[in-house]
Amino acid sequence: MKKGTVYLVGAGPGDPGLLTVRGAALLRQADLVVYDHLVSPRILDHCAPGAKRVYVGKEADRHQMSQQAINRSLIRAARAGQTVVRLKGGDPFLFGRGGEEALDLVRAKVAYEVVPGVTSATAVPAYAGIPVTHRALASSVAVVTGHEDPAKPSSAVRWDRLATACDTLVCLMGVSTLASIAARLIRHGRPTVTPCAVIEWGTYPRQRTVTGTLRTIARRARTARVRPPAVLVIGDVVSLRERLAWFEARPLFGKRILVTRASDRAASFAERLEALGAEVVQLPAIELVPVKQNGLFRGVIKEIRKPDWVFFTSPEGIGWFARMLRPHRKDVRWLSGCRIGAIGPKTALAIEEAGLHVDFVPRRFSQEGILEGLPRRLLTGKRALILSAAESRDVLEAGLRARGAHVRKVPIYRTVIPAALREGVAAVARQRFDLVAVTSASCVEHLIHALRAAGQGRQLRRLRFASIGPVTSQAVRARGGRVAVEAKTSTIEGLIDAMVRAR
């Protein structure tokens, strides 16, 4: 039987972008992923579709599984020949009990590797604008657990020596004992005016920082109702935060945004919003599927005379068109000799990446924009083919006919409601979002339909929609929704710019 291996992988402090390249690669290979409480759900997106995921998170007074049971499960899976990733917040060998798990694996003669992670001891202060060392302020740093009560006589932490031994002290898991830690350090000689910071949910978009001095920090943290997870930083380096607080200064910091774009395009959109500081929840409200085969498409491509104009109304269109050509032993070269119109720059880029030249892109990225930009003389008597979603509007078709063109509109894909939307919309409706980003009328229709089907229609009144353009905004208003943000140009870039301006 094949022997399995256990990988003790550090997931980093929370921001999914801080997962190491090695950690991501192992998640893609794992048969079993055993993960902790502070592992971001976005990190689990790296897992292979068939991988089993087991949550063993530990919270205060609530443990999903004992440490001994976790160790036994790792050993059992490895002996069964599985590749196991034990995914731990931060770094597995820094207050992560990775050493205990490794010793049990050695005793069981199970192969293992350690993949270090970005530790919260340095990453969280960095995200709060606090370097733990600085040539003019701090040449030494100590990392200590605050989880045990320092007032206990049996405390393993030598607070009497730590108080003045290092320039910077970083205490992990010390929120509940913050007052005791401060009192002990003052008692052993640390000045009461020493700058301090408590950073809650560090590296997450919900990050919050409370500052004070060693005398005042416990009271200020209590007043602010700081809760775990939080990191305490003590030392003169905290004074640099006022000038170096870069993370909270990002334009969408603290905003919670629901992204409804199709799943194959939602990730890149979400990443760009996260880079601007937003907390993003993805709930795709649209899925693209093939149309049923019929004679309409076959009739078009079998005709001897090709269209003069071919119009694509979405970036996805060229891919679906190529897919529909394959059974007829043809490819996109069939469009040679046709003039090609694209509804916008993203659609034009997709067409050109397929090796074709785009002849026309309107200034206003909509069906109306195409009609505004093409003179009647270019259309009268011409044969036009519109390749679009089955549910797309008929504005372009009607407008081309009115200008004297002979028009055929052929659906090449359909938009449907994803199963995950039906399952997830009720839970999402109970959450608070600053904005709901919608990138098409279909996204709007499907989301609102799912809300009402789940008995959550009343939640529509409190949602603030960020719309990609006038057509999508009209769909929101027609269904009783409120448009808080509308892009000036109907692109993802335009939508992001509009959200930044409206913050």
pLDDT band, residue 149 (cuts 50/70/90): very low
Does 88 qualify as catalytic in the annotation?
A: no
CATH topology of domain 5-118: Cobalt-precorrin-4 Transmethylase; domain 1 (3.40.1010)
Percentage helix, strand, coil for the chain under 3-state DSSP, each rounded to 5: 40, 20, 40
Q: What is the pLDDT of residues 297-343, one digit of tens each?
A: 888 888 878 999 999 999 999 999 999 999 999 999 999 999 999 99
Which is the catalytic residue, given 58, 306, 308, 359? 58
Q: What is the pLDDT of residues 173-185, one digit of tens each?
A: 888 899 999 999 9
- Which whole number is the average pLDDT over 370-394? 93
How far apart are the C-alpha atoms of 150 and 30, rounded to whole Å?
A: 40
Does 330 qualify as catalytic in the annotation?
A: no
pLDDT recorded at residue 83: 97
Task: Output the pTM of the full model.
Answer: 0.81
pLDDT recorded at residue 119: 97
* Identity of the highest mean pLDDT range in 24-33, 286-295, 383-392: 24-33
The structural domains of the chain, with segments of one domain joined by +, span 5-118, 122-244, 256-286+417-501, 289-413
Helix (H, G, I), strand (E, B) or coil at 338: coil
- Which whole number is the average pLDDT over 254-268? 88
Q: For the chain, how big is the Rg over CA atoms in Å?
A: 29
Q: What is the CATH number of domain 256-286+417-501?
A: 3.40.50.10090
Written out in words, the top-level CATH class of the domain with range 289-413 is: alpha beta
pLDDT recorded at residue 59: 66
- Which whole number is the average pLDDT over 409-417? 92
Distance of alpha carbon 374 from the chain centroid: 39
pLDDT recorded at residue 62: 59
Which is the catalytic residue, given 15, 104, 167, 173? 173
pLDDT recorded at residue 154: 62
How far apart are the C-alpha atoms of 387 and 316, rounded to whole Å?
A: 10
pLDDT recorded at residue 461: 86
Quote the CATH superfamily of domain 122-244: Tetrapyrrole methylase, C-terminal domain (3.30.950.10)
Cα of first residue to Cα of last residue in the chain, in angstroms, is: 58
Does 173 qualify as catalytic in the annotation?
A: yes
Task: Spell out where 182-335 has E strands.
Answer: 195-200, 208-213, 230-234, 256-259, 279-282, 287-289, 309-312
5-118 and 122-244: same fold?
no
